[in-house]
Structure 1
C-alpha cells in the first residue's frame, strides 16, 4: 500500500529551534525511501504565525486533504483530525518541571500536550525514559508510544580536515583553547552550574576560555556582563558547528533535563570529548561515550573537567567511543522506523 503522509512544516520556518533539527533530519531520511511506496507532503501554514488559530483550524483543514497519515513534529495536533495522526513529543519537562519555563508557555503546553497525546494514533519520542514519562504524565497506554532514536547528519557532523578546522576557528575568532557549551542559555540547561564550575577552574587553566554558543533565552546574572574569559557567540551557523565541536578541548552538556540532547550526539559525531550531566536521557543514550558528573553540582563538574583536561589518554578514549556510538544513529534508520509506524497506523 502506497502511503501519502502529510508533514507539518511549521518547525522548518524561522526562527528555528531544536525541533527544527528533528524535522529536517527526518525529512532527509524519508527522501531516501522508495517514492513508489511513500509520498511525503510538507504542509506549511497559510500565514507564518505561531498563534493558536493555525494549530486549531488550519491544521484541522490540512488533515482533510486525503492523507493516509499526518505527522506533527512538535507537541500539537488538531483537536479533531480528519485522518490518523502521529505526533513527536520530544520531552514532557514542562509537565514535570513547569518552573523551568515562562509561565504563559508552560500553562499552554500543560493543557495542550496531554490532549495531543490522547488524540494521536501514535506518539514518537527519542528515548525510553521520556516514553515512560509520557505514559505517566499524559495517561496514555504504553503501546501508543513508540521510541525511535533520533539521528545525526554525518555528511555535516564529522571531524573536519585540519585546514577546514583552522579556517573555521579563525572565522569564529577563536584563537585560544576553549571549553564549549552549545544550546539555549536558560535555567534548565544548567548554564549556571557551568559558570560556577568555570569560576573554580579558570585560575588553574589560565590558557583556556569558556565559549557559549546559543541564544540567551533568560537572564543569567553571572553573564551580566560576561567575565573576560567567557565568550558569547550567540547563534552559530550549521556549517561552522563541526569546527566548533571539533576544536573544543571539552564539550560540556550540563542540562538539568532533556528529551534526547541532539547537540551531544552531534558533538560526538565530530570527535569531541564530552562531559555531561548524569540525567536519565544522557545515561540511556550516551553511556560509555561521555564523562558524567552529578547534575547541578558545580564542584563535581569542575572536578570532572579538571580530570579530563589533565588526562590526554582519557580524552582520546572518549573521542573514539563517541565516534563509534554516533555511527549507530542515522536519520535514514529513524525514517524507516517512522515509515513502519505510519503503515501500522494507516
Structure 2
C-alpha cells in the first residue's frame, strides 16, 4: 500500500490566505501594515532566488517588503549598523538576514544584533531560550512548518514516538522541542547515532533534516509512519546527462511504498517555510502592538506547555 502525499503547497496556500485576511484587518481596523525586511549579502544564486520568492509572497499577502542587497565585501560593522536601523524602524516588524553569510561574518553575532521581537527566523538566542522553556517565542520557520504539516495529517500528536534525524540549530534541535511540546516521545538522532536504521524504524513520526541526498532508504521507515523530509538537494544524473533534479534526504520511491504519509521534494516542507515566515511577521506585528494574533494561525502556534511528568 502506497503512502499518502502530504501536500505542502496546499497547506502553505491556506496559511497565506489566513495571513492576507489578517493583514486586511490590521490595515482597516488599526491602520497598520506589517513589514518584512530581508537582508541579502553577496550574490549566492540560491539565496537570490529564495529572497525574490520571499519578497514576492510578502507583497502578495498585502504586507510591505523591504529588500536590502549588500555587496559581498560589506563589513560586519556595516551590516550590524543596518540591522540597528531596522530594529528602530516602526514600519519594520520582521527582520531576516539571509544565510549563509560570506565567510568573513560571524553569523551568530549578526543574528544576535537583531531585536528578538523582530527575529522572524527564530534564530536569536532569546527566542531559542523561550522556545525551550515552553514560552511564547518566534519559532524557526521550517520546524514550525513541519509541525503544522504533522498536525494537519495526524491531529493530536500526544504519545507518538518521534525521531528527528539531524541536530542543527536551524531545524533539528527546534523540531525536537516542538514535538516534545506536543507531548511526543522524542529521539534526536544524528550521524553518530548507533544503529541509526533501527532508531528510524522505531518512529511513528520520522523527520529527516541531514542535508544528505536520499540518505534514509525505505527499509529504515516503519510501516505506516509519517515521514517529513526537510532535505532539498540538487543532484545530477549518474551519466551527467540531463538537468539536475531536486531530491530530499529520504529515498522517496522506496519510502513511499512503506510509509503511511510522506512529504514530497519539492512541494512538501519548502513552501511551508516561506508561509510560516509570513505568519511570523504578522504575529510579531500583533505582539509589538498589543493586538490579538490571527485566530487560525494561533491554532497552529507551538506555545503549548509541556505536561509535567
TM-score for both structures, normalised by structure 1 = 0.37
Larger Rg: 1
